[in-house]
Amino acid sequence: VSTSRFDRLETEGEILRAGSGVLLSRAASLALKCGLTGFEFAAGIPGTVGGACVMNAGAYGSETKDVLLSATVLTPEGQIKRIPAEELELGYRTSCIPGNGYVVLEAEYALKRGEPEAIKARMDELSAKRREKQPLEYPSAGSTFKRPQGHFAGQLIQEAGLKGFTLGGAAVSEKHAGFVINRGGATCADVKELIRQIQERVFAQAGVRLLD
């Protein structure tokens, strides 16, 4: 597989094609430039097209599955397959991709024609919401835990008294308890141990098991 495929980014009519290594922000910028709507939600998600397919990334009421047409994958047997979105078992932060050992090479999105001014306004609105509620001033991998059924992870963490809880260079954000941030010099071990302790404390407090 040519590595250039991972960085491919183009539109054809209302179809957006992006290699798995393309940043979601870059893909959203092209959609805006071409007057295509439907991808605004992804503009501020800190990840790539491939990762978004694997976990059905989403934000502010929209998910990858809402616009994904297909994913082209490399199978464990070395075959390249184009799989329609409806066969990827896309659910809340999940898909069949990791379980099948697939490597995402490319994704196709079905978008719609829109007004660039309206698309930009929606992106700006979501960006403002992120700046207000999320700790964008620190490095993080976004929201750390999946939303437990009937609960909000950040609220459970806050109720367990863990806002600002620090281990090494890793910490629970004071702004949004659902984010584990790097205050400076955090190691992978710091982050993993902090997550483990959060899960342990929340389970002891609320009886809810947080999944990362």
pLDDT of residue 146: 85
Asked whether residue 101 carries a pLDDT value surpassing 90, the answer given is yes
Asked whether residue 155 carries a pLDDT value surpassing 90, the answer given is yes
Please state, in angstroms and rounded to a whole number, the distance separating the CA atoms of residues 125 and 187: 33
43-62 residue pLDDT tens: 988 899 999 999 999 988 99
pLDDT of residue 147: 86
159-211 residue pLDDT tens: 999 999 999 999 999 989 999 999 999 999 999 999 999 999 999 999 999 98
Asked whether residue 66 carries a pLDDT value surpassing 90, the answer given is yes
Over residues 124-138, mean pLDDT: 87
Asked whether residue 2 carries a pLDDT value surpassing 70, the answer given is no
Q: What torsion, rounded to 10 degrees, do the Cα atoms 184, 188, 194, 200 define?
A: 170
Asked whether residue 113 carries a pLDDT value surpassing 80, the answer given is yes
Give me 19's structure tokens: 């290699």
pLDDT of residue 158: 94
Name the band, by pLDDT with cuts 50, 70 and 90, for residue 3: low
pLDDT of residue 1: 62
Asked whether residue 141 carries a pLDDT value surpassing 90, the answer given is no
Mean pLDDT of the chain: 93
pLDDT of residue 131: 83
- Alpha helices by DSSP H, 14-81: 24-33, 49-55
Which is more confidently placed, 101 or 132? 101
Asked if residue 2 lies in contact with residue 106, where contact means CB atoms within 8 angstroms, the answer is no
Provide the total of helices (H) and of strands (E) in the chain, helices listed first.
5, 13
